[in-house]
Amino acid sequence: MQVLQVQLEVGPDPAEVGRARRWARTRLAGSGIAADEPLADTLVLLISELVTNAVVHTGCPAVLRLLFGPGGAGAGIVRVEVVDGSACPPQQRRADGADTHGRGLELVDGLADRWGWQPEGRGKRIWCEVDRSAPALAPVMHEPGAYGPTHAVTNTA
């Protein structure tokens, strides 16, 4: 089984989130996921949320990885990983309708087929996976109160 992996080092600056999105779009296109596909928008949103969490909540540099699983065009798993230097586990929050923060992991939970986290060295790795052969979901928000576990090691949709 051959897996293609690409990675980007991300500094502890919120401006890095935009750079990570642009970088990801070019890598997705290089893997056969066209910019106008709903799957590309979903993956870029997932990447944006995970990188934002790492930059905003840890203040540490991070590494963004994209792993493309085997399969022909439209097949296989795309895995997004963000590794940061903070040992604090991610916490899914319960954002109210007027809140401007606190929806990142809620979006990840709703859009990814699977997600989770694990300790890595002094920090952690948070990841999510999207099955390219499954119909892509349009990026949407859950209704308030529709949440998964607060401290998930692995969630499956």
The fold of the 4-156 domain, in CATH, is Heat Shock Protein 90 (3.30.565)
The residue length of the chain stands at 157
pLDDT in tens, 19-39: 999 999 999 999 889 988 999
pLDDT in tens, 78-100: 999 999 999 988 876 665 566 55
147 pLDDT band, cuts 50/70/90, is very low
Look-up of token digits 């948070």: 126
Residue 155: closest CA among 108, 120, 88: 108
Burial class (CB in 10 A: 0-12, 13-18, 19+), 111: buried
